[in-house]
Amino acid sequence: MIDIRLLRNDPISVKQSISRRGEDTTDLDLIIELDEKYRKTTEKRDQLRNEIKELSRQVGDLRKSGKEDEATPLQESSREMREEEEALSDECDHLSIEIRELLLRVPNLPAEECPDGKSAEDNVVVRVEGQGERDWDNCQRVPHWEIGETLGILDVERATKLSGSMFAMYTGLGATLCRALIQYGLDRNADEYREIRPPTLVLTETMVSTGHLPKFMDDAYHLERDDLWAIPTAEVPLTSYARDEIISESELPMKLMSHTSCFRREAGSAGRDTRGLLRVHEFDKVELLAYATPEQAQEVHEDILSRAESAIADLGLSYRILDLCAGDLGNSSARTFDIEVFAPGVEQWLEVSSVSWFSDYQARRANVRYRAEEVKGTSVIHTLNGSGLAVPRVWAAIVETHRQEDGSIQIPDPLLPYMQGIKIIN
């Protein structure tokens, strides 16, 4: 969440930043009003506490002196003041909860460098690498679901029978290719990123920490009986890896990676990109995440982007990098670069990685702090993350891009060590 002190001290700048997203700022005015009321109520409560403490001291002194008749009315006055103090304390608690609930719904402030814009149409194309949208052979212009069915490596029909629409089942060498991509994504980042295998089901506060709750509740799978949530990305448990902890600055940047299954309801996507692997409810992904100081954040952001980009480039896929405008940023992000691959069979640019810097927005929700050497107190950490390798769309782009005239699939060289000696799927 945003720092309420920033809103308190510079409300105009905060409103201007939120307006860049195209968001309504009405809640900010309400937060400012409630915060002022909270501080006044707190001040009055604390003043009463001090008066009660002083009365209690006087009552004790009078009783020690045997002046019970003087102590009794003071004690009665103290009792009445204590009831008022308890009422004020309850009001403070209520206001604090109300302010926090409102703050949880306020998106992050876009970075100054983030381009202005209202929607995805205003995103800035940083660069395009590989073939143009029209420079493809006919053999590559076949959708991956047709290729997968012909080669027996993708079975959407049986997946639908088992689980319903928007689920997929990789079979034979299709499953091997899926596993190869996962190991490829882990191995190429193992030089600096520590591998973590977190739980796939998490508590509500873990989802709140990243900003997925409460705003995106409809897009998440909730196990109501146990009050657990299926993670939409490993970003969720990794962000809370050090929740409510204080990390030494010497440990930063702390770089983590995870392979997990991810679950998304894709609410509102009915009839849109739902064929094959374009949009599925369950998928595998290798995620990169880092804790960093504000001074380290830019370098770490560039590192994650470079790693995600090189993973795609080495697979021989055509791709482009987008600098997302303020109006298209994720709720928690301050700056995001998307990597999109071009899939010639479906003739679409497919997002395969979002590399984001969240400033202190997520860590403030998760209460992750760090202590700098020779500096008094602690500071809120910055979080950054990106998809090191998201399987479904990369799998689809590989199958379409590397399809040969005879209908076979040429396996990209970086995946060969993981393909059990198979170089061609035919």
The tokens for 105 are 């719904």
pLDDT at 66: 87
Tell me the average pLDDT across 274-281: 93
Q: Do 92 and 217 fall within a single domain?
A: no
Last residue of a domain, one of 52, 68, 103: 103
In a domain, 253, yes or no: yes
The tokens for 37 are 């009321």
Look at residues 237, 194, 239 and name the one whose alpha carbon lies nearest to residue 381.
239
Tell me the average pLDDT across 384-405: 98
pLDDT at 372: 92
Distance, CA of 95 to CA of 69 (rounded, Å): 40
pLDDT at 346: 96
Q: Do 163 and 44 fall within a single domain?
A: no
Tell me the average pLDDT across 374-403: 96
Q: Do 349 and 393 fall within a single domain?
A: yes
Q: Do 212 and 330 fall within a single domain?
A: yes
pLDDT at 271: 59
In a domain, 110, yes or no: no
Give the domain extent around 83: 4-103
Q: What is the pLDDT of residues 199-228, one digit of tens each?
A: 999 999 999 999 999 989 999 999 999 999
The count of domains in the chain is 2
Q: Which residues contact 253 (CB under 8 A, 6 or more apart)?
A: 290, 291, 292, 293, 296, 300
In a domain, 280, yes or no: yes
pLDDT at 174: 98
pLDDT at 161: 97
Q: Which amino acid is at 229?
A: W
Tell me the average pLDDT across 328-356: 97
19 pLDDT tier (thresholds 50, 70, 90): very high
By mean pLDDT, which of 61-75, 248-262, 305-319 is the weakest?
61-75
Q: Which residues contact 408 (CB under 8 A, 6 or more apart)?
A: 151, 424, 425, 426
Last residue of a domain, one of 103, 130, 148: 103
Q: Do 134 and 45 fall within a single domain?
A: no
In a domain, 114, yes or no: no
Q: Do 91 and 127 fall within a single domain?
A: no
Cβ contact 379:332 at 8 Å: no
Half-sphere exposure of 330 (CA within 13 A, CB side): 23
Domain of residue 242, CATH code: 3.30.930.10
Q: Do 25 and 149 fall within a single domain?
A: no
Judge whether residue 311 has pLDDT over 70: yes
In a domain, 248, yes or no: yes
pLDDT at 62: 87
pLDDT at 409: 98
Mean pLDDT of the residues in the chain: 95
Tell me the average pLDDT across 360-388: 95
**Can you name the residues that pair with 283 across neighbouring β-strands?**
262
Judge whether residue 37 has pLDDT over 90: yes
**Can you name the residues that pair with 385 across neighbouring β-strands?**
289, 356
Q: In the 3-class helix/strand/coil scheme, how is the chain assigned residue by residue? A: CCCHHHHHHCHHHHHHHHHHCCCCCHHHHHHHHHHHHHHHHHHHHHHHHHHHHHHHHHHHHHHHCCCHHHHHHHHHHHHHHHHHHHHHHHHHHHHHHHHHHHHCCCCCCCCCCCCCCCCHHHCEEEEEECCCCCCCCHHHCCCHHHHHHHHCCECHHHHHHHHCCCCCCECCHHHHHHHHHHHHHHHCCCCCCEECCCCCEECHHHHHHHCCCCCCHHHCEEECCCCEEECCCCHHHHHCCCCCCEEEHHHCCEEEEEEEEEECCCCCCCCCCCCCCCCCCEEEEEEEEEEECCCCHHHHHHHHHHHHHHHHHCCCCCEEEEECCHHHCCCCCCEEEEEEEEECCCCEEEEEEEEEECCCHHHHHHCCEEECCCCCCCEECEEEEEEEEEHHHHHHHHHHHCECCCCCEECCHHHHHHCCCCCEEC
Judge whether residue 272 has pLDDT over 70: no
Q: Do 36 and 66 fall within a single domain?
A: yes
In a domain, 115, yes or no: no
Last residue of a domain, one of 70, 103, 136: 103
Judge whether residue 328 has pLDDT over 70: yes
Distance, CA of 147 to CA of 245 (rounded, Å): 49
270 pLDDT tier (thresholds 50, 70, 90): low
Q: Do 143 and 191 fall within a single domain?
A: yes
Q: Do 212 and 304 fall within a single domain?
A: yes
In a domain, 69, yes or no: yes
Q: Do 356 and 250 fall within a single domain?
A: yes
In a domain, 84, yes or no: yes
Domain of residue 16, CATH code: 1.10.287.40
pLDDT at 268: 63
Q: Which amino acid is at 418?
A: Y
Q: Do 92 and 50 fall within a single domain?
A: yes
Q: What is the pLDDT of residues 125-164, one digit of tens each?
A: 999 999 877 889 999 999 999 999 999 999 999 999 999 9
